[in-house]
Amino acid sequence: MKFIITENKLESVMFNYLDTIFNVIEFNGDFWFNYKNDTQIGVKFNYGNKKLVICSKIITELMSMFSNDSYERMVLVIENWAREKIGDDINKVLVSPYNLYLPGYITQK
């Protein structure tokens, strides 16, 4: 059985998935999107330089779930999801090949 899913619906499913795996922590205008019950983060936003940094791990994770989409498309989906959470302040998007972690001065709720 085949299903036809519109681009908007697919992005909505991806947004819902990201909402279920990440906590959003805000501190002094900076945002960290950490995996629930973990100090590892998938996305961070620095208010000072308006840069969004995405860990490549979450990009490949999304690509494995939604196999028809490209790496660049996954970056755009994550950027749009983060923009929805923090507002329209993002000036630059970077992808980090390294695992990212919460800073020591941030504690999870």
- pTM, entire model: 0.86
Q: According to the model, what pLDDT value does residue 68 have?
A: 63
Q: According to the model, what pLDDT value does residue 6 have?
A: 75
- What is the mean pLDDT of each successive set of 10 residues along the chain, which is 109 residues long? 74 92 90 89 92 94 80 92 88 92 76
DSSP-assigned letters across all residues of the chain: ------HHHHHHHHHHHHHHHEEEEEETTEEEEEETTSSEEEEEEETTTTEEEEEHHHHHHHHHHSTTS-HHHHHHHHHHHHHHHH-S---EEEEESS-EE--TT----
